Amino acid sequence: MKAEGLRRIVYPGTFDPVTNGHLDVVGRALQLFDEVVLAIAGDSTKKPLFSLEERKQLAEESLAEFNGRVRVTVFRGLLVDYVRSQGANAILRGLRAVSDFEFEFQMALMNRKLADSIETIFLMPRDTYTYLSSSIIKEIARLGGDTSAFVPPGVQTALHEKFHGGKP
Ligand code: ADP
């Protein structure tokens, strides 16, 4: 298929770090789209645990299982401008619970206001990941808990090194 004919969706977020919930959403999106462009927000006001470079590397490693159908990038500036620059017209977001809804609804409608031709698509992860967030994973890792059911092995190692130094 020609590159410009690809159905492509941009998945923006902080990914600090990437979790099995993110991977689940990406896998579902690949049933609908040819390519997912994971877009790590470089301008975020959040104070991340992992640097942009570390987050990109962990995401790349973790998404290798999708055989080149996921590209990991860093973006700055307005998301809708970035989506256009990637030749896409869709934004992917994960929806876990009602608590995600209000913020996501506001973002999606504001992005539509900024760019009417770009749609936001929400996908729900499998139920075991609905209570999973990068923040809760960092908390478990910090307190010495086992994160192996929730993050890819490379992320588990990186979390352990960050909080406790050395391998798990
Ligand atoms: P952000 O700071 O933009 O919320 P995140 O990296 O926390 O960035 O999340 C990126 C996207 O992935 C968001 O749409 C979020 O709702 C979704 N997401 C995060 N964790 C999960 C999960 N466990 N299951 C499904 N979607 C998730």
pLDDT at residue 99, as a whole number: 82
In a domain, 49, yes or no: yes
Q: pLDDT tens-digit profile of 103-152? A: 999 999 999 999 999 999 999 999 999 999 999 999 999 999 999 999 99
Is 46 designated active site? yes
Report pTM.
0.94
162 falls within a domain:
no
Query: What is the rounded distance in angstroms from the CA atom of residue 34 to the CA atom of residue 86?
Result: 13
Instruction: Report yes or no on 145 lying in a domain.
Output: no
Please count the structural domains in the chain.
Answer: 1
Any ligand 1 atom below 6 A from CB of 134 = yes
pLDDT per position as a tens digit, 42-76: 988 889 999 999 999 999 999 999 999 999 999 99
Count Cβ atoms below 10 Å from residue 63 Cβ, excluding itself: 22
Q: Is 125 in the pocket of ligand 1 (CB under 6 A)?
A: yes
Q: pLDDT tens, 17-48?
A: 999 999 999 999 999 999 999 999 998 888 99
61: containing domain:
8-129
**Structural domain includes residue 110:** yes
13 Cα–ligand 1 center, Å:
6
| Marked catalytic residue, from 8, 22, 55, 138 | 22
Asked if residue 99 belongs to a domain, the reply is: yes
Written as one string, the DSSP assignment of the chain is --GGG--EEEEEE--TT--HHHHHHHHHHTTT-SEEEEEEETT--S--SS-HHHHHHHHHHHHGGGTT-EEEEEE-S-HHHHHHHTT--EEEEE--SHHHHHHHHHHHHHHHHH-TT-EEEEEPPPGGGTT--HHHHHHHHHTT---TTTS-HHHHHHHHHHHHSS--
In a domain, 79, yes or no: yes
User: What's the CATH code of the domain at 18?
Assistant: 3.40.50.620
Closest CA to 36 of 2, 63, 75: 63
Q: Is 160 a member of any domain? A: no
* Per-residue model confidence as pLDDT tens digits over 85-109: 999 999 999 999 888 899 999 999 9
* 154 has a pLDDT exceeding 90: yes
pLDDT band at 2 (very low <50, low <70, confident <90, very high): very low
The answer to the question of residue 87 being in a domain is yes
pLDDT score at 167? 66
133 Cβ below 6 A of ligand 1: yes
